[in-house]
Structure 1
């Protein structure tokens, strides 16, 4: 199978690219290389005959048409998106342009290509989304595939809009679509503006470790390589028109997660005082969702997938990866906004 992966130089996209090539799939990595992308993420497969790279923007329809014609993909895995909630608060326009208009352009390019090929039944358009489109949970309950949409940030609203577009193109035009909504990912190659890398890198640098509010917000943590496995499974075996929630089954309060990372660093790179002494509680993010938690029974029961990496094992692997790969993350810290407190303009 030849797969067109959008956003394949990003965090989750690169995990998909590496795994797909390892599984023997041909991969075309389409990425416009924004601030959060890094070709080092796919360096391990860059010389593989199964891999090709196209620097292009999903907002550029002409480029998309050329790429479909040139590479003739059997499937699309759409991961390209603006994804940092704090940045969406400060600058929502980029999220509407990329996540909504960009998805529209990609759907239209895919539909034109699929139609020109005689509408093959085995073509797939797999849209990868987030559990944030469902809003915020209370102390109990889980997001299911039937949970009503209730986005609370410009980021989640833009992803909700893109989900709706994909479903509409499936219903109206018959484009063979599948959708997935995932919980919070973590692991190697995570861009250093997200929570777990921020904690690790600030701790190592002796800087304050910021925790929003009282740290009571709960997330379900999914190791990125587990997620990549699930995404390829949905692409190849998921039912057309079906959506699948993908979660790690690892709920943690933010403050507990941060303390766990500090304890791992205490063991792996000890210093005179505990890393947890660097924790500082800061003003909360506007509209900060209280809790996300995924009910992953559909993908488990229908496709046989379940997360294999516990949060304890995953955090150990992740911390060790950052300790071993300073040459990857140090250059990224100089990029615009990285290390700054964003999302306060509201």
Structure 2
């Protein structure tokens, strides 16, 4: 299949493109920044470029992974988020429908589910962790990134309703390699390791989820999926996760504290949100390979943790 992959120079795109090619797809990469997997340098906001790309390459399906992200808020005006995240998605949906496509994969974000109330967590008075699945709501994004991504999701839903195109909206948890831009403690790999309990997955798993969705969405219509490492917790744990997360973690992973102590790491004293990725497993048969148990196994064997960490990572578009 000839696929248009937007965001092909980005962190996800550089892992997803070779995976798609390895299973026989022809990938046409489009990104604002040059890259090893980028054939067309330009923006999805340019409708003329999108139409030219579809005509010139015989595009048969779209994986729309390109976007401005949360860290870009300090770099770009609100209008740029609307242009790229909303108008760009509209351009691609219209072109896909005109070309007669039967499927469309849209990379969204769990960030749009995090209102100020959810973000405040225990400090805001929450008495239990928020259980975030696809039915969670009402959704009240807290910044322009979340607002434009949820707007793009609504466009995807509308185009399915009007034109029957099958759409998979993939709300990905965290998989970026750089340090968190707001949290100070713990930092680096320790924070990433902790997040595999409730809100992170590897970029390799994120890429594989897109591959699975490309095939799996064909007969499903419109569906939204949360992507994250499988959490060990259940809804009945939510109150204690706010009050005493280490005690809950110890029930599931008795070895965790000793392994963390040896590494000089700390476990979270509370967990305020849980991403439930169960729907992707039920409907698509997708389950992330790397989970918190994988982290502990690496620590026990004194191997490097099975995720990427690069505090100096810079988005390719920022290096232009």
**What is the TM-score when the length of structure 2 is the normalising length?**
0.70
Aligned to 1:206: none
Q: How far apart are 1:322 and its partner, in Å?
A: 4.7
Return 5+ residue gaps in structure 1 as ranges: 47-51, 115-119, 204-210, 268-273, 277-289, 337-346
Does 2:115 correspond to 1:125?
no
Mapped contact 1:183–1:292 kept (Cα < 8 A): no
Q: How far apart are 1:130 and its partner, in Å?
A: 0.6
Cα RMSD of the aligned pairs, angstroms, is 4.0
What is the alpha-carbon distance in structure 1 between the residues aligned to residue 57 and residue 25 of structure 2?
13
Aligned to 1:104: 90
1:233 pairs, out of 186, 208, 212, with: 212
Q: How does 1:198-213 map to 2 (within 5 A)?
A: none
What is the alpha-carbon distance in structure 2 between the residues aligned to residue 292 and residue 157 of structure 1?
20
Does 2:167 correspond to 1:181?
no
What is the alpha-carbon distance in structure 2 between the residues aligned to residue 56 and residue 147 of structure 1?
35
**What is the TM-score when the length of structure 1 is the normalising length?**
0.65
What is the alpha-carbon distance in structure 2 between the residues aligned to residue 195 and residue 235 of structure 1?
30
Does 2:286 correspond to 1:296?
no
What is the alpha-carbon distance in structure 2 between the residues aligned to residue 3 and residue 127 of structure 1?
13
Mapped contact 1:32–1:55 kept (Cα < 8 A): yes
Q: How does 1:1-346 map to 2 (within 5 A)?
A: 1-33=1-33, 39=35, 43=36, 53-85=39-71, 87=73, 91-114=77-100, 123-136=102-115, 137=118, 138=121, 139-148=128-137, 149-186=139-176, 190=177, 192=178, 194-195=179-180, 220-238=199-217, 239-249=220-230, 291-311=272-292, 312=295, 313=298, 316-318=305-307, 322=310, 335=319
Q: How far apart are 1:77 and its partner, in Å?
A: 0.5
Distance 1:108 1:226, change over 3 A: same
Return 5+ residue gaps in structure 2 as ranges: 122-127, 233-240, 247-255
Q: How far apart are 1:24 and its partner, in Å?
A: 1.8
Query: How many residues are matched?
Result: 266
